[in-house]
Structure 1
Amino acid sequence: MLNDMATNLNCKTKALPISYLGLPLGAIPRKKATWKPVVDKVKSKLAGWKRKMLSFAGRLILTKSVTSALPVYYLSLFKMPEGVASELDKIQAKFLWGGSEQGRKIHMIKWEELSKRVNQGGLGIRQLRVANNCLLIKWWWRFGKENDALWKRVICSKYKMEAGGWIPSLTPSMSHSAVWKGIISVADQCTSLKVFYLNNFHLKVGDGVRIYFWTDIWCHSVCLKDEFPTLFRLSLDKQESLNGMVDKKITAGGWSLVYDWEKLELDRLVTMLLAAPVLCPECPDQPVWVASSSGSLMSSDLYKFVVATAGVSLSITRLIWLKLCGELSPVVGWREVKEAIKEDLESNTIGSDVVNLEVQKRVSGAGMLVCQVLQTSVSDLYAAQVCLSASLLKCLGAFLLVLGLLGDC
């Protein structure tokens, strides 16, 4: 029967899951088998023979480029299982530190430290778990932004959500598919990211059709329902849109919120509404991301927020990667800084002894800025001394070389 229909329609028959636009259609994201193409591709890009041909800095660059590009397509739709994330971290760490299938080299620094930003003393390697959560939250933004999109209409119809809603229901349900359940599961697994998103998700008033007068945040970044709870309880138009409330005001000649026993609250509400945004009938209501100057959410904004809370910013790290260490490799200088930080952590001196240092030294004839550090910690001062000593040795060697050449002349 099925083959006959496929013949009549001139198409093929195939069982799920199938590959569609690079993604496995009908696959279960929580199974490791779904992620096997991603893991295999990362392994091939970070192969053992490449490890032998590259220095530590070369392996670092290749690791960053592979992990920041290859899994993005999967991460933007599927919730990555913890086992897959751990396996990808192991592949990266083994490649970076020079290990192989036959033998494992010692990992000098924990992977959590390597994943920190450069200004926090790390190497800036992308944290796949965090990137996955940020890419999935982008669907929350698209849910409010793309009101007429087919995918949103399907989701709202299937899961009984309001068609014009701004934020999807974050309450998990047994009826949710594995893909959608993974998208909304970020709210429970990363509470700080959820709070950051809700605090920076605001509404720009347009025609007022989609914005609810009481429950949406449209007036002075506050929800009128929470600001005036008594008036909300007494209101007969709890689910009225902003446009509908304005029409009632024009028809009745004023706001139909007359409660004599709540005169003070009513006066405060009227005062707030007088300074509220004015309706623009030509423009639809739109969400605005206030944490960005463009007003549009980028996954990188969410990622930067999460990684910024992973550690304190160290001013000396900027100097290390600006190659002010002379012949000393920046990677070696970075390791020295990490060792100094570790020693200070063990002795509980970081954050207690702060040295006010202002050094701006130029080597005569070279014109090289060695270092300039303001209000650095003990660890920063130690690393600055390493950079300064190496730079002075380099300049001294160059000076002796010039004297030798002049002597030969």
Structure 2
Amino acid sequence: MLPVTYLGLPLITKRLSKGACSTLVERITARANSWVSKALSFAGRLQLVKATLISMQCYWCNIFLLPMSTIKECERVLRTFLWGGRGRSKVKWADVCKPFSEGGLGILELKTWNKALLLKHLWSVLTEDSIWAKWCHAYLLHNSNLWTATLHGHLSWSWRQILRLRPLVKEHLIYKCGNGEHFFPSRSRKGSPPYTP
């Protein structure tokens, strides 16, 4: 890891380590400790978790696939603050992260949200004509198909992690054929999945 940061994120050339993520954990811990949780109601602590502490993590999740050890450490800080630092959690964290309609508190589950934010990058490459998407096709994919691009070569660790999420993308793709005029692979946009009858 280079000894510099950009917009609060470490500039890394290799795998994101637990040590590189220590800054994130420290910031979340410091922010949680700055609030006097005992003087707040449970509803107040819940709102601070959802509005502030989660957003601090999402900023990193939008760029890196965080190590599981970091995810668990962040969740530990959130649990401690949410329950007022009193003993064990009253409800399983997996249940807390469920939507209100399913009996949860609507807190974002970090592991799932991390993957969802990274999937947005793949979606951008598939659907957008932005400068970043064009750059990805020209320099990262070398004008090849997104679905067949290999993980070999001089690719950054972060880009490899994003490409490894391609099977998850395929599970949720919905094809809209219409009259079939623009569905043939030779006329489909660059990076779109191959046609299968």
Same fold (TM over 0.5): yes
**CA 1:124–1:22 in structure 2 vs 1: closer, same or farther (change >3 Å)?**
same
| Counterparts of 1:28 and 1:18, CA distance in 2 | 14
Q: Which residue of 2 aligns with 1:178?
A: 157
Separation (CA, whole Å) in 2 of partners of 1:32 and 1:130 = 19
- Determine the structure 1 residue equivalent to 2:71: 85
Greater relative contact order: 1 or 2 (C-alpha under 8 angstroms, separation 6 or more)? 2
Alignment of 1:281-300 (within 5 A): none
Displacement of 1:88 in angstroms is 0.7
2:19 paired residue number: 33
From 136, 153, 159, the equivalent of 2:118 is 136
The answer to whether the 8 A contact 1:78-1:179 is kept is yes
Q: Aligned-residue CA RMSD in angstroms?
A: 3.3
Residues 36, 147 of structure 1: alpha-carbon distance in 2 compared, 3 angstrom cutoff: same
Q: Offset at 1:73?
A: 2.2
Does residue 213 of structure 1 match 2:195?
no
1:69 to 43, 46, 55: 55
Q: Following TM superposition, by how much is the alpha carbon of 1:76 offset from its aligned partner in structure 2, in angstroms? A: 0.9
2:184 is matched by which residue type in structure 1? F
Q: CA 1:69/1:204 → structure 2, altered by over 3 Å: closer, same or farther?
A: farther
- Structure 2: any 5+ residue segments left out of the alignment? none
Give distance in 2, aligned partners of 1:65 and 1:29.
Answer: 29
The change in CA–CA distance for 1:185 and 1:107 in structure 2 (over 3 A counts) is same
**Aligned-pair CA distance for 1:144:** 2.3
1:199 aligns with 2:169: no
Counterpart position of 2:196: 226
Matched residue SS, 2:21 = helix
Instruction: Say which SS state the counterpart of residue 19 (structure 2) adopts.
Output: helix
- What residue number does 1:367 align with? none
Q: Quote the residue 1:46 is aligned against.
A: 32
Larger Cα Rg: Structure 1 or Structure 2?
A: 1
Output the CA distance in 1 between the equivalents of 2:101 and 2:183. 43
Q: Which amino acid aligns with 2:174?
A: N
SS at match of 1:226: coil
Q: Do the aligned partners of 1:29 and 1:35 also contact (CA within 8 Å) in 2?
A: no
Q: How big is the shift at 1:87?
A: 0.6
Letter in 1 for 2:163: I
Give 1:187's aligned residue. Answer: 166
The 1:24/1:213 distance shift into structure 2, 3 A limit, reads same
Checking the alignment, whether the CA contact within 8 Å between 1:113 and 1:121 is kept in structure 2 is yes
Following the alignment from structure 1 to structure 2, what is the Cα–Cα distance between the partners of residues 204 and 77? 35
Distance in 1 (alpha carbons) for counterparts of 2:44 and 2:135: 47
Aligned partners of 1:161 and 1:168 also within 8 Å = no
Aligned residues: 193
Work out the CA distance in 1 between the residues paired with 2:147 and 2:53.
Answer: 30
Query: What amino acid is the match of 1:98?
Result: G
Q: How far is the alpha carbon of 1:91 from its aligned partner? A: 0.7
- Aligned-partner Cα distance in 1 for 2:53–2:149: 29
| Contact persistence 2:99–2:106 (CA under 8 A) | yes
Any stretches of 5+ residues in structure 1 without a counterpart? 1-14, 228-409
Residue 168 of structure 1 and its aligned partner are, at CA, apart by 5.1
Match of residue 118 from structure 1: 100
Identity of aligned residues (%): 28
Q: Pick closer, same or farther for the CA change 1:137–1:158 going to 2, 3 Å.
A: closer
Secondary structure of 1:144's aligned partner: helix
Match of 1:21 in 2: 7
Q: Deviations over 1:248-298 (max 9, x none)?
A: xxxxxxxxxxxxxxxxxxxxxxxxxxxxxxxxxxxxxxxxxxxxxxxxxxx
The alpha-carbon distance between structure 1 residues 57 and 212, as it changes in their structure 2 partners (threshold 3 A), is closer
Deviation at 1:217, TM superposition (A): 6.7
